[in-house]
Amino acid sequence: MKSPFLYIVPLALISLILGVIGGWIRLGWGISLFNPVPVSQHGVFMVGGFLGTLVSLERVVTFHKPALFLIPFSFGISVLTFLTGHAPVSHILLMAGSIGYLVVCFVIFRKFKNEGDFLLALGAVFQFTGHFVLYKTQSYPMAFAAWMLFFLFTIVGERLELSRFLPRKKYQKTELYFWLISISVSSALYHYGSSFILNISLIGLATWLLRNDISIINLKKQGSYKFLGISLLAGFCWLIITGLLGFSESPLKYDALLHAFFIGFVLNMILAHAPVIFPAMLKINFKPFHPIFYLWLTLLNLSLLMRISGDLFTNNSIRITGGLLNGLSFAGYLVNVAILIIKHQIYEKNYKIRSI
């Protein structure tokens, strides 16, 4: 059987493309689409259709059980049901995928009993909560709080897994769980006056990651490891900026907060891990890297800084230019990674032919 990567990831990429274009139209770019849905559902296309598919696929591919690929497929196919005018079905598919992903995370935690897997399972609970809230309320502001927690717990859980051999004292773990609990509670009570606590807690969690993650160690290395470390550090810094933006009084504060977190924090994590995750899904013993990756990393972060500045100073031209470059830089990076993987596969195939 061919790798599920080959028929599930295209669905994720469709969600990414339509979600990015929908975001550009929301910013004010005059782009015509055959269907207005990507504009109104920009958020769920990115969080559910694209990221939901990739995160769940990364987990289920380790089980070697074909039936489990229905989980990422459920996330991916939701984009097509949205486009055909069956939004309730799309929400049900997203919730079904979330439940399946939660079960997978729970099974992994029961098997290995690792802290990182525990946090991933909690993240899966928040993922389902976000999709359920959107289904019931059609309110993105309500859903985004749960989605934010999903990504926070997922990313922190994965970082704990990758750095579990580093010695940590009890007070360090206590601090981590303090920040995570504080973020969870203050997010739930955000509209009841807990925004100050949430802002401080996001900054606190980010500083914990800066002090305790292996990203600092990677800076001393070369090649892909150094790129990984820089991408991670950029993401952690954007988490601090997200907390600081919470104190802003700008009328576009919501847009700034949202994209500082989902682009600055989440997408920088994807830039860091994509060269490892994609080959693993394809079962290829190859880690793509090229110095041009730094171009995409720099462009993503500088353009996000432009967009946030446009939000804070209500400068629409800077804001929409930054938003356009956000999408182009991320797409350019993914295309770059794909090209390197394809070139490697062609080389390997030709090498085997020459060796016969």
For residue range 68-111, list pLDDT tens digits in order.
999 999 999 999 999 999 999 999 999 999 999 999 999 999 99
Averaged pLDDT, 318-338: 97
Tell me if 292 sits within 8 A of 263, measured CB to CB.
Answer: no
- Greater model confidence, 41 or 356: 41
Look at residue 95 and tell me if it is in a domain: yes
Look at residue 244 and tell me if it is in a domain: no
Look at residue 252 and tell me if it is in a domain: no
Global confidence as pTM: 0.95
| d(C-alpha 21, C-alpha 16), whole Å | 8
Lowest mean pLDDT, pick from 40-44, 185-189, 275-279, 303-307? 275-279
Count: domains in the chain: 1
Averaged pLDDT, 41-64: 94
Tokens of 265: 């924090």
Look at residue 335 and tell me if it is in a domain: no
Tokens of 252: 């576009």
**Residue 72 lies in domain:** 1-166
Look at residue 331 and tell me if it is in a domain: no
Tokens of 144: 């985004």
Tell me if 72 sits within 8 A of 61, measured CB to CB.
Answer: no
Look at residue 303 and tell me if it is in a domain: no
Look at residue 223 and tell me if it is in a domain: no
Look at residue 245 and tell me if it is in a domain: no
